[in-house]
Structure formats: structure tokens, C-alpha cells
Chains A and B, each alone.
Chain A
Amino acid sequence: MALSLLGPHPARYLRSARPWRAAGYLFTGAVTGAAACAALLLLAVAGTALAVVLVGLPLLAALALAGVPYAALERRRLRILDPAAEPLPDPHREPDRTGPTAWAGTRFREPATWRELGYAVLAATVLWPLELLALGGALLVPADLLATPVLLALDGEQANPLKIHGITTYPPALLCAAAGLLLLPLFLYGIGVLAAARAALARLMLAPGQGDLAVRVTELTSSRARLAAAFDAERRRIERDLHDGAQQRLVALSMSLGLARLDAPPGSPLAAQLALAHTEAGQALTSLRELIHGIHPQVLTDRGLPDAVADVADRSPIPVDTGFDLPGRLPEQAESAGYFFVTEALANAARHSGAGRITVTGRHDGARLVVEVADDGRGGADAARGSGLTGLADRVSVVDGRLTLTSPPGGPTLLRVEIPCIPLEPKVP
């Protein structure tokens, strides 16, 4: 069992570079462990002593974070033992902002930081003396025994292998050398197993754990939600700019042209030119109005989902019945996702379903906004094929929503979205 730590071919172990790698790993481990011991002691003593005058507090903070660089070194040091293995991934995440304060703040909140500190303390107190002892014993004992005949020859009278017994004649000295020769591979196996166990401990404590992954997933989810919110805010800004700028100017232009037409002599070329310009301005206004509405419907901001959906229903070529039962306004993101779900679903239905009637219903079940779009069309909609449906699912997933589709051939088709959200406090009018 322990031999399995030595790799796939324990029998070839001695002929490979592995014993030397193991020795190197343990030796550097002992050195870095001792250095960590000194550093931790220094930080702890200085920090505690100076804590009364507040200077020590940053030192104590540094002590808490000391595991981070040590663990980074340890993860690299694993490659001494096994250069071919995948390097251990860093369990830490990037701080949100730059600067040392943000960095420390992020690190303090991560479980990995505290695991690394524990590992550093363990290495600095228990592991490095053991490593040193094992390495020393495994190399010095066989070497000492092997050297007995040489030492006897040099001394001429007596040799004391392992400082326990005086040997004065050559037969026992040669016997000692033979014992050393036998012990050397045994001890080399020993340090191989020890190094592998030490590396396993490092992997266990320094690789990203479940907690770190959860933190990362949460971080990804919230950054995605922030991105979506930023997009929504940008859409609203563009809508506002177009409305307050271009649209007002065009209305003013159209108004001036209208007034100019009143003063132009009827039937004159000028009147005809003005009429043309006036019509053009009117068409530009219509296009601009549609464009603005498509970017972000103001009614969604003003009145919420039911009114905004009623507005979309008004524009649908297929008659749409709507029924909403919501406890007041919902968070912007949920309303926006629900709205774009309905617009996309209605557009899809108009394009593909062949339906004669569509029903849109919405309710809040206490934890989620549930919106359903049902049509009496031919069915057979497939989420895997329709790019519109894929886009819908992507859009909904940003707010942790779930999209379900039932559409048997022959219909009816039911699209349903569930978006977790909590209703806002009812606004005082």
C-alpha cells in the first residue's frame, strides 16, 4: 500500500531518479520549514509585543497571511518530486480592486487562506524536524555502516559505527558494511514513501477545495449579473439620450416645417418642397420612436411588467390575452428579463407557431416570478434548434432563471420562465 506511493513501478524505483527527488524534496522542505518557523516566530513575537502601540497589528495581519506565500512556494516545490504532474491550481481568486488593502480583504475572506496558514504552522513546527531527522537517518546510517572498514583502516585499531560498538577486526567491519549496503535501498524506499506522504498532505491542504469553488461560482454568478445590470443601465441611458436629444429636436424641426408650410404660398414649389421635408421629418420621427422603444421601453420603467406586456400584446399580429397577478413592482432585472422573455416568445410564436391566439400569464409565488406564454399553434418547437430559444435561455440564466418548453407536435406550445426574485416594497405614490 505504502509502496504504491512510489509510483507505477516500485521495483524500478531505485534505478530511477526518484530517490534523489524524494531526498531533494525532503531537504528543501526541511530548509523552508525551518525558515517559516523563524519567520512565524519573529512575526508573532514582534506583532504581539508591538500590538499595544498599534504598530504590531499590521505585523499580526502579515502573520495571518504568511501562509499564502509559503503555500505558493509549497505548490511549486511539489514539482521537485514530480515534474511531470499538473501544477496545483491556485485556490485564491483575483481581488475585485487593485491595491494591497483590497488584496488582503479578499484573502481574509477565503477559506483557502486559513487552510494555508494551518499548513504553514504545521510545517514550521512538526514537519521540518521530522523531515530533517528522516533524511539524516536514511542517508547517514547506511553511509556510516558502509564506511566502517575504511574507518577501521584509517584508525588502525577501532571504528565506532553508529557510536554504539567498537569494532576492532575486519570481519565484523565488513559485516557492518554489508548491513549498510542492505539498509541503503530500504531507507531510500523509506524516504520515498515519506516524501510521497508529505506531498499528499500538501495536495490535500493546498489544492482548491469545495468551499473555494463555491466562492468562485458565486463570484462568477454575481459578476455576470453585474454585467447584465450594466447593459440594462446602458440601454436605459441610450434610450434617455435619444429621447431627450434627437427626438425633441426632430419634433421641433417638424413643428417649424409645419409652421413654415402655413406661410408658404399654396401651390408654389416652396410649398411642395416644404411638404416633402415635413413628411421626411415625420417618417424619421416614427422610425426613431420605434428604435427608442426597442432599446428600452419606458413603460417598463414607469409602470412595470403587466403594463409593458400589455403594450407588447397590443403590437402583436396574433391576438394576445394577458393576465397578471403580481404583488407590486419587482426588481428591475427580473422585470427586464420577464419583459424580454415575453417579447421574444411572442415574436417566435408570430414567426413559427401558426397560432390563432396567445395567452400570457404572470404571477409571483413568493419566491419566483413565473411567466407563461401559451399558444394554440402547431407545436414542435425545439429548444435545441431554435436560436431564439437559446438566446432566451441565456438571457434568463443571467438572473438565475429557468426556462421550460413543452411543445408536442400538433401543439399546444407552452413556454414558461421562472425567475427568483423578491417583490420590492410597495412605493408610496
Chain B
Amino acid sequence: MRIVLAEDSVLLREGLVGLLARFGHETVAAVGDAVELEAAVAEHRPDIVVTDVRMPPDHTDEGLRAAVRLRGLRADLPVLVLSQYVQRSYAAELLDSGDGTGVGYLLKDRVGQVEEFADAVARVAAGGTVVDPEVVRQLIRRRRDPLERLTAREREVLALIAEGHSNSEVSRRLTVSEAAVGKHIGNILMKLDLPPAQESHRRVLAVLAYLRG
């Protein structure tokens, strides 16, 4: 898979290129700021963009804004954003961009879990949605409407969907049958007032409802 990587720390950028290569991915461009990122994406048309939130010159949320802009130009461009801390509004903004598929928001710490990280990259590139478990954990604690209507098990299922897992993966993790997972998802979508439509889209909407609390 062809990747454009944006990370201002040289140390980390080199490390990430190595890590991605270890899993068989080609980093076609590794850049240090948001302007270069947008140029590199226009030039290389990668399969996925991996970017840090905080980038020069202002060292604020330029990487995130660049990601949202890029998805404004090309809605199906998969983007995985790395953040140094959990911020619900960042995750919600990303999911709002494009059609809500093929996006990921992960804590930067997660790159240390190299296999999980490589897995997240692959899932986002394949059009999946990945939200950091830490964001999910905080949101569960909030227990706000409309999520209050969900049972504990339904919230667990929704949390795993938000982390980007498929039904079979959810069933494996919760050690329940895949049919049971399907039933839970049906209940969740009903309780969140999401009428039947395209399945994957509704899953994203459910995650969004979750994020907005």
C-alpha cells in the first residue's frame, strides 16, 4: 500500500517509515508540515494518509485541518490521524469529513503497539473507521443520552464498532455468536433512531452519535 506520512519529528518520521516498511507498505512521501502534506498527496495520490495533528509552523491542529481539507477534495481518501492526546471534537470533526468512512483517529502512543497500529492502518485504508479506545472509554463513562438507552452489552458492541472492528471480530472479542452481535447492532441502530439503509453508513452514524454524546 502506498502511504503519505506527515510527522514533524524526524526521529518519529524515520521510525514510522521503518515500521510501515516492516509490514510491507511503501511510504511514497514523508513530510514535515501540513503544506508539504497537501502537495505530496496531490502529487502521489496515495492509498492512505497518516498524519500527526500537531504540525509546524503553528504547532496547533494543522495536521488535522489539512486532513479535513484533503477529504473535502477527495471524499474517499483514507486518513489516519495521530494525536498526542484524546480529543473528542477532533475525532468528531474527522468522522464528519467526507462520507465518514476510511478515517481513523488514534493516540500517538498506539504506534508502539506495532501490530495493532499496522492493523489500524490497513482497516482505515480499506474504508473502515477507527476511533482510539481511549476516546471510546471516556465516552462510555459519560453515559449520556441517547446512549443511556443502550444496555451495557450494547454499549460494549458499539465501542468495538467505533474502534473499527467487524462483526466477526466483535463476536470473537465478546465471545458471543456473530448472530448475537448482529442482533445487538440492530437494537443499537433502532435505539439511536437510525433507519435501515446502507449498513456500513449506519455504523458510522452510530459511532458519530456516540462521539457527539
Partner pick for B85 among A278, A289, A303, CB 8 A cutoff: A289
A292 with B15, Cβ < 8 A, contacts A258-B114, A285-B109 known:
no
Partner pick for A255 among B54, B107, B111, B141, CB 8 A cutoff: B111
Please determine whether A282 and B12 come into contact, CB atoms closer than 8 angstroms.
no
Q: Complex Cα distance A314/B143, Å?
A: 10
Identity of the chain A residue whose Cβ is nearest the Cβ of B18 in the assembled complex = A259
Chain A residue numbers with a CB within 8 Å of B12 are 248, 251-252, 255
Pick the interface stretch among A68-76, A96-104, A208-216, A293-301.
Answer: A293-301
A278 with B112, Cβ < 8 A, contacts A243-B54, A256-B15, A319-B142 known:
yes
Residue B60 is within 8 A (CB to CB) of chain A in the complex: yes
Q: Complex Cα distance A248/B14, Å?
A: 12
Please determine whether B112 and A244 come into contact, CB atoms closer than 8 angstroms.
no
Partner pick for B112 among A251, A262, A299, CB 8 A cutoff: A251
Identity of the chain A residue whose Cβ is nearest the Cβ of B116 in the assembled complex = A258
**Minimal beta-carbon separation of B5 from chain A (angstroms):** 13
**How many chain A residues touch B (Cβ–Cβ < 8 Å)?**
37
A259 with B114, Cβ < 8 A, contacts A240-B59, A251-B109, A315-B138 known:
yes
**Minimal beta-carbon separation of A5 from chain B (angstroms):** 69
Residue B113 is within 8 A (CB to CB) of chain A in the complex: yes
**Minimal beta-carbon separation of A335 from chain B (angstroms):** 14
Residue A151 is within 8 A (CB to CB) of chain B in the complex: no
Classify the secondary structure of A's interface with B: helix
Please determine whether A259 and B19 come into contact, CB atoms closer than 8 angstroms.
yes
Q: Mark B86-123, 1 if CB is under 8 A from A, else 0.
A: 11110000000000000000011101111100000000
Residue B44 is within 8 A (CB to CB) of chain A in the complex: no
Please determine whether A292 and B11 come into contact, CB atoms closer than 8 angstroms.
no
Partner pick for B115 among A252, A262, A299, A302, CB 8 A cutoff: A262
Residue B149 is within 8 A (CB to CB) of chain A in the complex: no
**Minimal beta-carbon separation of B155 from chain A (angstroms):** 15
Partner pick for B9 among A244, A303, A317, CB 8 A cutoff: A244
Identity of the chain A residue whose Cβ is nearest the Cβ of B16 in the assembled complex = A255
**Minimal beta-carbon separation of A19 from chain B (angstroms):** 77
Chain A residue numbers with a CB within 8 Å of B108 are 247, 251
Q: Mark A291-323, 1 if CB is under 8 A from B, else 0.
A: 011000011011100010011011101010000
A314 with B88, Cβ < 8 A, contacts A248-B11, A251-B108, A255-B114 known:
yes
Chain B residue numbers with a CB within 8 Å of A302 are 60-61
Partner pick for B60 among A249, A282, A298, A315, CB 8 A cutoff: A298
Please determine whether A259 and B60 come into contact, CB atoms closer than 8 angstroms.
no
Chain B residue numbers with a CB within 8 Å of A293 are 85
Residue A113 is within 8 A (CB to CB) of chain B in the complex: no
Q: Mark A216-253, 1 if CB is under 8 A from B, else 0.
A: 00000000000000000000000010011001110110
Q: Mark B1-43, 1 if CB is under 8 A from A, else 0.
A: 0000000010110011011001000000000000000000000
Please determine whether B143 and A319 come into contact, CB atoms closer than 8 angstroms.
yes
Please determine whether A282 and B112 come into contact, CB atoms closer than 8 angstroms.
yes
Residue B84 is within 8 A (CB to CB) of chain A in the complex: yes
Tell me the chain A residues, 257-298 only, with Cβ under 8 Å from chain B: 257-259, 261-262, 278, 281-282, 285-286, 289, 292-293, 298
**Minimal beta-carbon separation of B54 from chain A (angstroms):** 7
Please determine whether A299 and B109 come into contact, CB atoms closer than 8 angstroms.
no
Residue A336 is within 8 A (CB to CB) of chain B in the complex: no
Chain B residue numbers with a CB within 8 Å of A259 are 18-19, 22, 114
Q: Complex Cα distance A262/B60, Å?
A: 34
Q: Complex Cα distance A419/B15, Å?
A: 46
Chain B residue numbers with a CB within 8 Å of A257 are 112
Please determine whether A262 and B114 come into contact, CB atoms closer than 8 angstroms.
yes
Chain B residue numbers with a CB within 8 Å of A255 are 12, 15-16, 19, 111-112, 114
Please determine whether B11 and A252 come into contact, CB atoms closer than 8 angstroms.
yes
Residue A254 is within 8 A (CB to CB) of chain B in the complex: yes
**Minimal beta-carbon separation of B107 from chain A (angstroms):** 8
A258 with B112, Cβ < 8 A, contacts A248-B9, A298-B54 known:
yes
Q: Complex Cα distance A255/B7, Å?
A: 15
Please determine whether B143 and A281 come into contact, CB atoms closer than 8 angstroms.
no
Residue B209 is within 8 A (CB to CB) of chain A in the complex: no
Please determine whether A298 and B112 come into contact, CB atoms closer than 8 angstroms.
no
Residue B183 is within 8 A (CB to CB) of chain A in the complex: no
A314 with B109, Cβ < 8 A, contacts A247-B84, A248-B9, A249-B11 known:
no
**Interface of B toward A, CB cutoff 8 Å:** 9, 11-12, 15-16, 18-19, 22, 54, 59-61, 84-89, 107-109, 111-115, 138-139, 141-144
**Apart from the given pairs A286-B109, A314-B138, 4 other A-B contacts in the complex at a CB distance below 8 Å:** A247-B108, A251-B109, A255-B16, A319-B144
Question: What are some 24 contacts across the A-B interface (CB < 8 A)?
Answer: A244-B9, A244-B59, A249-B11, A251-B112, A252-B9, A256-B15, A258-B113, A258-B115, A259-B19, A262-B22, A282-B112, A285-B112, A289-B109, A292-B85, A298-B54, A298-B85, A302-B60, A303-B61, A307-B87, A310-B88, A314-B88, A314-B139, A314-B142, A319-B143
By Cβ-Cβ distance, the 9 closest A-B pairs, closest first, are A254-B112, A258-B114, A248-B9, A285-B109, A302-B61, A314-B138, A302-B60, A307-B89, A252-B15
